[in-house]
């Protein structure tokens, strides 16, 4: 498991320097996440959770929520990086950094496709993202680092590695800051999150450009040849690369959608991590890097102009509980814990804590820290949900499910 150790070290090293004065703002961003007690219980729900990807229902009200806990679903894995339910049938799949696609079969995971010969698995590189087509169960999309270290987006048919179609390849000038998420948005288009090209401090000066795919949130139509560009992308008619939807991201490590909103966990440089929340229908947003790191000026370190920037709703300092590399999460929409419906769960690769908040349309509210209840599982690398909306937490070797204690 040597590569697991190296991955953690790389995440720490690339977030090694840089800070600045807090930005004076009237936004609703939270500088130091507060810790609240367990949210009050709701006793009118009528369903629970059983095996992975399957829920059970009862006619009885649930007892009061006492705490949260982790249930181990699988262990000893070669670094799982993303988990997702196939929309057509709810079957639960995950990928591992070495280039394998796995399926839960009768609650036990089995590899069902292997593209490891195409993938470089080193540091922050590897098989990083997966997305099922929302209406065609035969189509799976993967985001991986190819043998040259470049970002590669490929479509596979019927889980057959021989039936592939290249959509997009993006040159990566360094080995870090690859982003990794691909996700179909509520608009039916494929969204791709890319980092700034690597190095440190925006080495390649991509953060504040719109004509480069790096440091961007991309939005494409997978039914084009090799892909199409939606007509309402902001730079279709000039001013930037037509694939770009948003800019100013350093290393967006996990992006998710919920009820028309996009949630982005963006890894910081050396002092602050951030969670951004914005409307998924609002184009041309600029998330600040490298003018800002979290809520602080980065370049210049004082007096930066934040006009027109979309600032994070949550900032986490590296002095907070061993934080070093934010892991963006997902919003809870399951039935086992109705008290937490709409709450966004997230973590940090080094800190390993588990936290949540509820976005009220303008601010992160009800911030809660569940770490004392669930414990520290190790490096938290990713989140996902099954077809029932229950949340899974992926560490560098295990898959856990968040379950209630009642």
Summarised one tens digit per residue, pLDDT across range 171-181 is 999 999 999 99
Contacts of 299 (CB under 8 A, 6+ apart): 201, 202, 290, 291
Give pLDDT tens digits for 226-253.
999 999 999 999 999 999 999 999 999 9
Q: How many domains does the chain fold into?
A: 1
The three-state secondary structure class of 3 is helix
Strand order in the sheet with 217-220: 182-184, 190-193, 217-220, 244-247, 285-286
- Between residues 355 and 30, the one the model is more confident about: 355
Give pLDDT tens digits for 38-75.
443 333 333 445 557 655 555 688 999 999 999 999 99
- Rounded to two decimals, the pTM is 0.89
**387 lies in which domain range?**
2-405
Confidence at residue 108, expressed as pLDDT on a 0 to 100 scale: 85
The pLDDT of residue 190 is above 60: yes
Rounded distance between C-alpha atoms, residue 360 and residue 343, angstroms: 10
The three-state secondary structure class of 180 is coil
Task: Supply the Cα-derived Rg of the chain in whole angstroms.
Answer: 20
CA nearest to 111, candidates 98, 125, 129: 98
CA nearest to 34, candidates 363, 394, 277, 267: 363
Which CATH number fits the domain that encloses residue 180?
2.120.10.30
| Confidence at 107, pLDDT banded by 50, 70, 90 | confident
């Amino acid at each position: 498991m040597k590569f697991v150790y190296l991955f953690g070290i790389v995440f720490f090293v690339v977030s090694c320097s840089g800070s600045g004065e807090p930005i004076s703002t009237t936004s609703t961003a939270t500088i130091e996440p507060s810790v609240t007690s367990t949210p009050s219980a709701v006793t009118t729900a009528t369903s629970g959770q059983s095996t992975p990807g399957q829920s059970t229902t009862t006619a009885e009200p649930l007892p009061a929520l006492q705490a949260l806990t982790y249930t181990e679903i699988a262990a000893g894995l070669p670094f799982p990086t993303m988990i997702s339910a196939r929309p057509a049938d709810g079957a639960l799949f995950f990928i591992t950094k070495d280039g394998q696609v796995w399926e839960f079969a009768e609650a036990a995971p089995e590899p069902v496709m292997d593209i490891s010969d195409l993938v470089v698995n080193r540091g922050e590189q590897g098989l990083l993202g997966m997305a099922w087509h929302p209406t065609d169960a035969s189509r799976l999309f993967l985001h991986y680092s190819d043998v040259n270290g470049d970002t590669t987006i490929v479509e596979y048919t019927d889980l057959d590695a021989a039936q592939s179609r290249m959509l997009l390849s993006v040159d990566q000038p360094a080995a870090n800051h690859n982003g990794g998420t691909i996700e179909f948005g509520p608009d039916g288009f494929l969204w791709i999150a890319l980092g700034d090209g690597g190095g440190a401090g925006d080495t390649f000066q991509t953060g504040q450009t719109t004509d480069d795919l790096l440091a961007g949130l991309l939005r494409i139509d997978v039914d084009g040849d090799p892909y199409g560009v939606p007509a309402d992308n902001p730079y279709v008619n000039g001013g930037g690369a037509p694939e770009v939807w948003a800019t100013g991201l350093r290393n967006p490590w996990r992006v998710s959608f919920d009820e028309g909103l996009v949630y982005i966990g963006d890894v910081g440089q050396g002092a602050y991590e951030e969670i951004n929340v914005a409307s998924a229908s609002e184009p041309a947003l600029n998330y600040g890097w490298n003018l800002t790191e979290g809520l602080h000026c980065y370049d210049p370190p004082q007096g930066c102009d934040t006009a027109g920037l979309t600032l994070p709703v949550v900032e986490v300092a590296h002095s907070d509980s061993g934080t070093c590399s934010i892991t963006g999460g997902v919003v809870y929409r399951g039935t086992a814990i109705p008290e937490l419906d709409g709450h966004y769960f997230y973590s940090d690769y080094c800190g390993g804590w588990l936290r949540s908040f509820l976005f009220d349309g303008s601010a992160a509210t009800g911030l809660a820290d569940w770490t004392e209840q669930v414990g520290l599982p190790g490096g938290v690398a990713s989140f996902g949900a099954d077809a029932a909306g229950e949340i899974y937490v992926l560490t560098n070797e295990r898959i856990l499910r968040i379950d209630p204690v009642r």
